[in-house]
């Protein structure tokens, strides 16, 4: 059965399909590898089976424009080869279409590929494409921009903003780790107001992450532990430690939850689920979406269920629940009929 946007309604719809041709959108400045050798390897693996129409991103022509032009030419399969920014830009053009997306990751973190089990080496990623297994996943938008992975507010955004291109080229993912350590040394809490459905939830935090999908290494998204790529929800993790030592302990705890699949139980970490939400902070905080800083709060995020057909290895995941109790300065208020009622507050445990 097909939905209005022509994508299957089932949350885990899968099929196996072979292709005669594909448009390859190749970012030559992604990652730290040799782009000429990378492209030669891709061609050697795929071209015996696929006719490739290759287009390169540049400062003048971005991945989104190239993907839109491929759609106009009638492409049925578009391959994005680059980092998470390249993949997100290509996916933006394909949301709610019947055109299939494949990924050959060549970026610094390759978080989207890791989240969906796509191999981060060229050989493995190409084999996924040739296998032809597809899955319908959900996407999202943040302030109108495409969001495949996550939106980070506060700590996440500051960490990525400080890891500039030169440090990423030299150090790879270590650049993010070093930047995060620097940010933990100067934690600054901010007041947050989150509106969802008929509730207003207020709390203090040093970081808020809204995730569609995220790999275990995106630790600030790991409150619920299992992030489901093909449901109707976005998962919000609230990171609220007040000292550097607590932040380090909380970060390590989130890494454990990610790998064990056990949701957090710490009082300085909360999580909840939204289909759409408005998030504002005092003072305003930087916001990063899929690895790119887009501005500052407020933000409006909205899930787009079952909106992208992606070639991935088969995978399964379980839906998480919610936990807010224990967060500092927490209040939850009903907005039903424009009357604020049924509110409660939580004080952090000593």
User: C-alpha 199: how far from its chain's center?
Assistant: 25
pLDDT at 332: 84
Residue 10 domain-assigned (yes or no)? no
Count CA within 13 A, CB hemisphere, residue 138. Answer: 25
List per-residue pLDDT tens for the chain, 350 residues long: 334 344 444 344 456 667 889 999 999 998 778 999 999 999 999 999 999 999 999 999 999 999 999 999 999 999 999 999 899 999 999 999 999 999 999 998 899 999 899 999 999 999 999 999 999 999 999 999 999 999 999 987 777 666 555 555 554 555 455 556 666 667 789 999 999 988 999 999 999 999 999 888 888 898 887 788 888 999 999 999 988 888 888 888 888 888 888 888 899 999 999 999 999 999 999 999 988 889 999 999 999 999 999 998 865 434 445 677 778 888 888 776 555 444 444 444 43
Alpha-carbon distance values, 27 to 43, 57, 221, 261, 293 (Å): 15, 5, 27, 34, 19
Q: Are residues 332 and 280 in the same domain?
A: yes
Give the range of the structural domain holding residue 119, as residue numbers without chain letter.
18-131
CATH number at residue 158: 2.60.200.40
Residue 67 domain-assigned (yes or no)? yes
Q: Are residues 242 and 273 in the same domain?
A: yes
Residue 140 domain-assigned (yes or no)? no
Q: Are residues 116 and 172 in the same domain?
A: no
Which tokens in the block code for residue 194? Answer: 């989150």
Indicate the pTM of the whole model.
0.78
What strands, in cross-sheet order, belong to the sheet with 286-289? Answer: 269-274, 234-239, 207-211, 150-154, 286-289, 292-296
pLDDT at 11: 40
Residue 295 domain-assigned (yes or no)? yes
pLDDT at 320: 47
Provide DSSP, 156-194.
Answer: HHHHHHHS-HHHHHHHTTHHHHHHHHHHHTT---EEEEE
N residues, the chain: 350
Alpha helices in 21-154 (DSSP H): 35-46, 63-72, 84-94, 111-115, 122-131
pLDDT at 319: 41
Q: Total structural domains in the chain?
A: 2
Residue 210 domain-assigned (yes or no)? yes
Q: Are residues 209 and 120 in the same domain?
A: no
Contacts of 24 (CB under 8 A, 6+ apart): 42, 46, 52, 53, 54, 55, 79, 81
Q: Are residues 149 and 45 in the same domain?
A: no
Residue 119 domain-assigned (yes or no)? yes
Phi-psi region of 129 (alpha: psi -120 to 50; beta: other; left: phi over 0): alpha
Q: Are residues 193 and 329 in the same domain?
A: yes
Q: Are residues 152 and 126 in the same domain?
A: no
Q: Whole-angstrom Cα distance, residue 276 to residue 313?
A: 29
Q: Are residues 295 and 185 in the same domain?
A: yes
Residue 334 domain-assigned (yes or no)? yes
DSSP 3-state of 335:
coil
Residue 139 domain-assigned (yes or no)? no
């Amino acid at each position: 059965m097909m939905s209005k946007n022509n994508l299957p309604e089932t949350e885990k719809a899968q099929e196996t399909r072979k292709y005669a041709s594909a448009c390859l959108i190749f970012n030559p400045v992604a990652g730290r590898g040799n782009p000429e050798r990378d492209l030669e390897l891709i061609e050697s693996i795929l071209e015996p089976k696929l006719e490739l129409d290759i287009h390169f991103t540049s400062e003048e022509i971005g991945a989104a424009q190239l993907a839109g032009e491929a759609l106009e030419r009638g492409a049925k399969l578009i391959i994005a080869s680059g980092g998470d920014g390249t993949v997100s830009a290509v996916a933006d053009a394909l949301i709610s279409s019947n055109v299939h997306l494949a990924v050959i990751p060549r970026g610094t973190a390759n978080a989207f590929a890791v989240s969906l089990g796509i191999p981060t080496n060229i050989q493995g990623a190409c084999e996924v494409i040739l296998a032809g297994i597809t899955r319908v996943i959900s996407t999202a938008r943040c302030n109108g921009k495409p969001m495949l992975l996550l939106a980070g507010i506060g700590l996440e955004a500051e960490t990525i903003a400080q890891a500039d291109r030169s440090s990423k080229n030299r150090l790879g993912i270590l650049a993010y780790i070093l930047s995060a350590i620097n940010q933990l040394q100067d934690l600054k809490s901010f007041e947050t107001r989150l509106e969802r459905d008929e509730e207003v939830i207020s709390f203090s935090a040093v970081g808020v992450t809204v995730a569609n999908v995220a790999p275990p290494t995106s630790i600030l998204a790991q409150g619920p532990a299992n992030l489901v790529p093909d449901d109707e929800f976005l998962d919000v993790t609230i990171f609220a430690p007040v000292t550097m030592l607590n932040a380090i302990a909380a970060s390590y705890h989130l890494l454990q939850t990610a790998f064990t699949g056990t949701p957090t139980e710490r009082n300085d970490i909360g999580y909840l689920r939204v289909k759409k939400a408005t998030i504002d902070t005092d003072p305003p905080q930087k916001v990063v979406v899929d690895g790119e800083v887009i501005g500052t709060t407020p933000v409006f995020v909205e899930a787009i269920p079952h909106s992208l057909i992606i070639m991935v290895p088969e995978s399964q995941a379980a839906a998480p629940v919610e936990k807010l109790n224990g967060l500092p300065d927490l209040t939850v208020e009903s907005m039903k009929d424009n009357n604020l009622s049924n509110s409660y507050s939580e004080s952090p445990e000593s």
